[in-house]
């Protein structure tokens, strides 16, 4: 049975069809994986009991009997949705997010809630109020963030898929750090109904998995128009696995973002692995050229300002009145608000709300928020121009491999600058996938790179990623000790 641990969704489906294993056996098996191994990685905030999981499941559907976990900012009716924050520690959702409903209707087992940075604010999962998730490849290292619990659970073979959310890189970054596949979809392609907001104009839910095929399969359930989200695109549901032929689109033109490979602080092994990945795509027939995108140098700063502004506005609702915890011993209404927010939020979240209110305040909004929106328009324009010339773009997902806990405690800004590799795509609203492309020689830590495309190019991205994956061994490797 332990062979099941690192099998893909595709293989599990085959085993179910051949009746080699039953839905319930799979459920038992993966619940046992958590019971045995999650002590090591601390990926989950909660694993549900078997009876309650079975209550929510339907035996029909494309993902029937396939277990996974959700990042803890996605609402599941009757379950806690804490965003890894004290302020929502005991908050139970009264409804299902659209993705929850779709995954349930597809028959998937939702095993539990995965740890993350508090309200998705971070790059290492260290800002969670509850626990520190470890990287399965090296337990002394962080798993990346903010969806680090979801990524670690998949990488450790505790589940074959998980959902995360990506506002400035929070799916792609931990996917790269944990050696798995993660997609940040086109803005508006996956419903945000029931996703607790961080930066609403950037947030997208997306899947983690160990293979590109699995990712496309789960994505086929998630994506498509939803009436309940006013920013949802009018795109019908589709089968995103249909294009996975193993070959590249004819005359595929790929641009390699030059500045990203030579970025300051870029680890030479990561740069080399990404160049090798480009070599593989070339061998498969892609026409590759270098492209320069100078406005990307401003994207982390623009993202910093806009995401904080939106966070300040979104998190104003957690006030002790409408949701979550309320400070008990306050004499006045003002004290109640103050104490609830003071005790309920962690340092990172409070800092971001203060920065957000500052950049929006009269007298400063022009200098910060409005300028950041102008830079965002320039970045969008630059992507648009580049996509006249190439079909897809390549850049690393990160500049350094997984790092030690606390490595950036003294220099938070340096941690935020890692968003350079991922947040431009959130600013432009375009899709990007991170897939494994190697390991560092020194520490055997995973390396990932991104395939980026114009709006709604998910099918082309998956096709290209799948062809690459078929040529390379990285996705078959698993960490020791699990």
Quote the CA–CA distance of 450 and 463 in Å, as a whole number. Answer: 14
Nearest C-alpha neighbor of 153 from the set 88, 97, 72, 63: 72
Nearest C-alpha neighbor of 180 from the set 68, 82, 42: 68
Residue of the chain from 82, 85, 93, 120 that contacts ligand GLN (CB under 6 A): 120
Does position 336 bind ligand GLN by CB under 6 A? Answer: no
Q: Which range touches ligand GLN (CB under 6 A), out of 54-62, 168-176, 269-277, 459-467?
A: 168-176
Nearest C-alpha neighbor of 344 from the set 317, 313, 304: 317
Nearest C-alpha neighbor of 171 from the set 292, 242, 91, 74: 74
> Of 63 and 312, which has the nearer Cβ to ligand GLN?
312
Question: How near is the Cβ of 81 to ligand GLN at its closest, in Å?
Answer: 16
Does position 401 bind ligand GLN by CB under 6 A? Answer: no
Give the per-residue contact string, 123-152, with ligand GLN (x = CB under 6 A; - = no): x----------------------x------
Does position 166 bind ligand GLN by CB under 6 A? Answer: yes
Residue 410 CB-density burial (10 A; 0-12 exposed, 13-18 middle, 19+ buried): exposed
Contact 122, 146 (CB under 8 A): yes
Of 43, 124, 146, 232, which one is the catalytic site residue? 146
Residue of the chain from 226, 419, 458, 459 that contacts ligand GLN (CB under 6 A): 419
327 belongs to the catalytic site = no
For residue 396, CA distances in Å to 66, 151, 261, 313 come to 31, 18, 7, 32
- Computed from CA positions of residues 16, 22, 27, 31, in that sequence, does the dihedral angle turn out positive or negative? negative
Q: Which helix (H) or strand (E) is 436 found in, with range?
A: strand 432-439
Residue of the chain from 168, 185, 224, 431 that contacts ligand GLN (CB under 6 A): 168
Residue of the chain from 121, 189, 216, 263 that contacts ligand GLN (CB under 6 A): 121
299 belongs to the catalytic site = no
Give the per-residue contact string, 294-323, with ligand GLN (x = CB under 6 A; - = no): -------------x----------------
71 belongs to the catalytic site = yes
> Of 108 and 175, which has the nearer Cβ to ligand GLN?
175
- In the numeric block, the tokens 């560092």 are attached to 440
- Give residue number: closest CB to ligand GLN: 170
Binding site for ligand GLN (CB under 6 A): 120-123, 146, 166-170, 198, 307, 419
Q: Give the residue numbers marked as catalytic.
A: 71, 146, 170
């Amino acid at each position: 049975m332990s062979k099941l641990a690192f099998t893909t969704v595709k293989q599990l489906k085959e085993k179910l069809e051949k009746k080699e294993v039953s839905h319930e056996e799979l459920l038992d098996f993966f619940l046992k994986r958590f019971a045995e191994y999650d002590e090591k990685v601390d990926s989950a905030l909660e694993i549900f009991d078997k009876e309650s999981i079975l209550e929510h499941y339907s035996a029909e559907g494309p993902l029937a009997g396939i277990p996974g976990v959700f990042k803890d900012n996605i609402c599941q009716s009757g379950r806690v949705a804490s965003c890894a924050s004290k302020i929502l520690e005991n908050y139970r959702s009264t409804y299902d997010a659209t993705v929850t409903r779709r995954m349930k209707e597809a028959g998937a087992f939702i095993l539990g809630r995965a740890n993350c940075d508090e309200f998705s604010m971070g790059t290492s999962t260290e800002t969670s109020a509850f626990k520190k998730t470890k990287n399965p490849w090296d337990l002394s290292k962080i798993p990346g963030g903010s969806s680090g619990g979801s990524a670690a659970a998949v990488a450790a073979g505790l589940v074959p898929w998980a959902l995360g959310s990506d506002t400035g890189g929070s799916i792609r970054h931990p996917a790269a750090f944990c050696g798995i596949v993660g997609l940040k979809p086109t803005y508006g392609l996956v419903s945000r109904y029931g996703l607790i907001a961080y930066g609403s104009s950037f947030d997208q839910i997306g899947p983690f998995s160990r293979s590109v095929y699995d990712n496309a399969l789960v994505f086929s359930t998630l994506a498509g128009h939803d009436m309940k989200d006013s920013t949802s695109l009018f795109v019908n549901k589709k089968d995103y696995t249909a294009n996975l032929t193993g070959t590249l689109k004819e005359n595929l033109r790929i641009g390699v973002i030059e500045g990203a490979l030579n970025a300051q602080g870029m680890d030479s092994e990561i740069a080399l692995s990404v160049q090798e990945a480009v070599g593989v795509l070339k061998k498969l027939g892609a026409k590759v050229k270098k492209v320069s995108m100078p406005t990307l140098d401003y994207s982390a700063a623009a993202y910093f300002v806009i995401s904080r502004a939106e966070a300040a506005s979104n998190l104003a609702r957690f006030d002790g009145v409408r949701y979550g915890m309320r400070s008990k011993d306050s004499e006045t209404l003002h004290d109640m608000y103050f104490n609830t927010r003071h005790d309920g939020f962690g340092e990172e979240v409070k800092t971001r709300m203060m920065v957000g209110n500052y950049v929006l305040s009269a007298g400063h909004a022009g200098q910060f928020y409005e300028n950041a929106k102008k830079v965002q328009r320039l970045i969008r324009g630059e992507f648009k121009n580049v996509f006249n010339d190439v079909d897809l773009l390549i850049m690393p997902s990160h500049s350094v491999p997984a790092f030690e806990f606390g490595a950036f405690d003294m220099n938070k800004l340096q941690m935020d600058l890692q968003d350079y590799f991922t947040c431009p795509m959130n600013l432009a609203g375009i899709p990007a996938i991170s897939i494994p492309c190697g390991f560092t020689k020194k520490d055997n830590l995973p390396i990932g790179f991104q395939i980026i495309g114009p709006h709604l190019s998910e099918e082309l991205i998956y096709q290209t990623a799948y062809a690459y994956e078929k040529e390379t061994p990285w996705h078959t490797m698993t960490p020791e000790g699990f």
